[in-house]
């Protein structure tokens, strides 16, 4: 008996010792792979250059500048070597960088309110992105490192400034993969020749990446003159050197649209940095596709590439294990959030996305609007990007994912590559004016350096704000947004709703299915299942984006009726 006990004790001791050693190895390995490894920089001279404040939100740093235009958009000019550009980006936008990171962390805390879960998430992301730098060109690592030197130490609990900035460039991809959070649902299209009013190439897109309303407050229209490659412009924010929407001086445009992805388990090249590489180094569709094939992504993405040299637009459809180049059969192309090429024609994830999501209907709605209107000009492209109705002009309610205009866009943009003209929405969303820029003039050597009180936008080309901004519907939508935030707070804190809240809330946006779903969710969480079921039933009488959302609501309803 004693010998058996001794054997058990010996076995337990060996097991615990082995487990401790294994844990130690795992922790040591984690510390090695997750440690901060910024790139080696040979010349730190740019760190000695002082930022100068000229007043009126105008800042300069050597030949680089940042200013806030009369439109409310921030405009930036960057030049030089990668590290120098990064340093300039970070120092010029230091205050914007702090604000952007603050609202990003705030939004993450809303999605993941528990500090315990946040710590787990931190280590998961660090492990997930452990080899991220090996998938990023050295040029962009240096630029990101330069920017990171202006990061606030207040957020070091997330990681060092460099780690955070590098990981933030993968946040776009993770947001695409976690489609249940509804962070992304972009729409883009392009016309030329017979579908264009003057035969010129036009590209329009809504970038519906939603991380809260504050995240989109400080959009930056950046004009970059790199030491290598083509000059280009992009619409970005103060920690993003990657590209989601942009055009270079060769008349090549790049915009991103998410496709359905499985949750990735290992990092590869962030798609925004692939888009940046294409914009900086390609001048034709074939060149863009060749660059794309060199990089491996960890999510699925459609990259729309418009080319003045080719006088057409194509789609690069890319997934972690395959890619395709989709060339149009007519003088237009439309892109939402599903694949269209032969390579993915039998892909079950793509087919499931087409059957169950809002992507196919948004595609058909753009097609319907293009078919119904005369050949498109810039203003008619903007009109389509602002459209809030469904197929057949159906009332979807304000903010429905089925709409081309979901009233969540970080930015909206129209490119005219043949003329190097671009129009950028000033906000809110795509409802405000579209501000025009002429890249021929912006990159002219005579005005590459900012002049005080000088507007670089083409004011005579501005597209006027939408009449929606002065309508009662706009006021009702803003009320709906505010009450949605309040409702989330009541639900989180398990508080009863104030008298009259339900009636006012449903009256603010009655046609939208989510209005009723959110009240159903609230009452379900409060244990009032009969009332919750009533609201879920009401939501099913509205237009729902896709079968996936409909099944989720029916599942909730079924649980309430058990």
Instruction: Name the pTM for this structure.
Output: 0.90
**Distant-in-sequence, close-in-space partners of 57: CB < 8 Å, separation ≥ 6:** 67, 68
Contacts of residue 415, defined as CB under 8 A and 6 or more positions apart, other chains included, come to 202, 203, 204, 247, 253, 306, 421, 422
CB 275 within 8 A of CB 289: no
C-alpha 516/C-alpha 534 separation (Å) is 9
| Strand ranges for 179-293 from DSSP E | 187-191, 202-207, 220-226, 232-236, 245-248, 252-258
pLDDT value of position 112: 65
What class, spelled out in words, does domain 472-561 have in CATH? Answer: mainly alpha
State which fold the 53-466 domain adopts. Penicillin V Acylase; Chain A (3.60.60)
pLDDT at position 349, please?
Answer: 86
* pLDDT averaged per 10 residues in sequence order, the chain, 562 residues: 54 53 42 64 94 91 94 96 98 96 81 63 66 91 97 87 88 59 76 97 94 87 97 96 98 93 75 97 98 92 97 96 94 96 90 90 97 95 98 97 96 98 96 97 70 80 98 98 96 96 98 98 97 98 94 96 86
| Three-class SS state of 255 | strand
């Amino acid at each position: 008996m004693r010998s058996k006990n001794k054997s058990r004790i010996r076995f337990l001791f060996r097991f615990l010792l082995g487990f401790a050693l294994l844990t130690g190895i795992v922790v040591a390995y984690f510390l090695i792979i997750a440690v901060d490894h910024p790139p080696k920089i040979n010349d730190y001279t740019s760190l000695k250059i002082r930022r100068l404040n000229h007043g009126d939100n105008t800042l300069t740093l050597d030949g680089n500048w940042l200013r806030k235009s009369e439109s409310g958009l921030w405009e930036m000019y960057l030049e030089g070597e990668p590290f120098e550009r990064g340093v300039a980006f970070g120092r010029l936008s230091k205050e914007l960088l702090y604000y952007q990171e603050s609202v990003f962390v705030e939004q993450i805390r809303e999605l993941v309110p528990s500090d315990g879960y946040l710590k787990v998430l931190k280590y998961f992301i660090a492990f997930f992105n452990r080899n991220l730098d090996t998938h990023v060109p050295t040029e962009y690592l240096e630029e990101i490192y330069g920017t990171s030197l202006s990061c606030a130490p207040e957020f070091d609990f997330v990681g060092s400034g460099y780690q955070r900035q590098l990981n933030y460039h993968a946040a776009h991809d993770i947001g695409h993969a976690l489609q249940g959070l509804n962070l992304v649902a972009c729409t883009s299209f392009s016309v030329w020749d017979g579908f264009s009013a003057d035969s010129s190439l036009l590209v329009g897109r809504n970038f519906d990446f939603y991380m809260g309303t504050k995240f989109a407050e400080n959009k930056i229209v950046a004009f970059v003159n790199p030491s290598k490659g083509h000059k280009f412009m992009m619409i970005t924010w103060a920690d993003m050197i990657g590209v989601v929407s942009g055009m270079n001086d060769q008349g090549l445009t790049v915009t991103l649209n998410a496709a359905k992805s499985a949750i990735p388990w290992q990092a590869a090249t962030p798609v925004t940095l692939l888009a940046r590489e294409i914009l900086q180094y390609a001048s034709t569709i074939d060149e863009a596709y060749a660059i794309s094939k060199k990089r491996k992504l960890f999510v699925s993405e459609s990259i729309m590439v418009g080319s003045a040299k080719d006088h057409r637009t194509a789609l690069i459809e890319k997934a972690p294990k395959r890619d395709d180049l989709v060339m149009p059969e007519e003088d237009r192309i439309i892109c939402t959030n599903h694949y269209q090429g032969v390579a993915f024609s039998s892909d079950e994830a793509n087919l499931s996305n087409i059957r169950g999501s809002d992507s196919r209907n948004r595609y058909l709605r753009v097609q319907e609007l293009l078919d119904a209107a005369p050949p498109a000009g810039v203003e008619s492209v903007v009109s389509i990007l602002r459209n809030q109705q469904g197929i057949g002009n159906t009332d979807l309610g304000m903010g429905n994912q089925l709409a081309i205009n979901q009233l969540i866009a970080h930015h909206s943009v129209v490119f005219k590559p043949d003329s190097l003209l671009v129009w950028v929405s000033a906000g809110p969303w795509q409802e405000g004016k579209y501000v025009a820029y002429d890249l021929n003039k912006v990159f002219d050597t005579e005005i590459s350096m900012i002049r005080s009180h000088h507007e670089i936008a083409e004011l005579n080309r501005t597209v006027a704000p939408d009449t929606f901004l002065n309508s009662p519907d706009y006021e009702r939508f803003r009320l709906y947004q505010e009450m949605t935030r309040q409702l989330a707070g009541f639900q989180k804190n398990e508080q009863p709703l104030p008298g009259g809240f339900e009636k006012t809330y449903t009256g603010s946006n009655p046609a939208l299915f989510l209005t009723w779903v959110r009240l159903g969710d609230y009452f379900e969480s409060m244990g009032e299942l009969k009332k919750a079921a009533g609201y879920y039933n009401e939501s099913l009488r509205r237009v729902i984006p896709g079968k996936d959302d409909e099944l989720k609501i029916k599942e909730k309803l079924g649980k309430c009726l058990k």
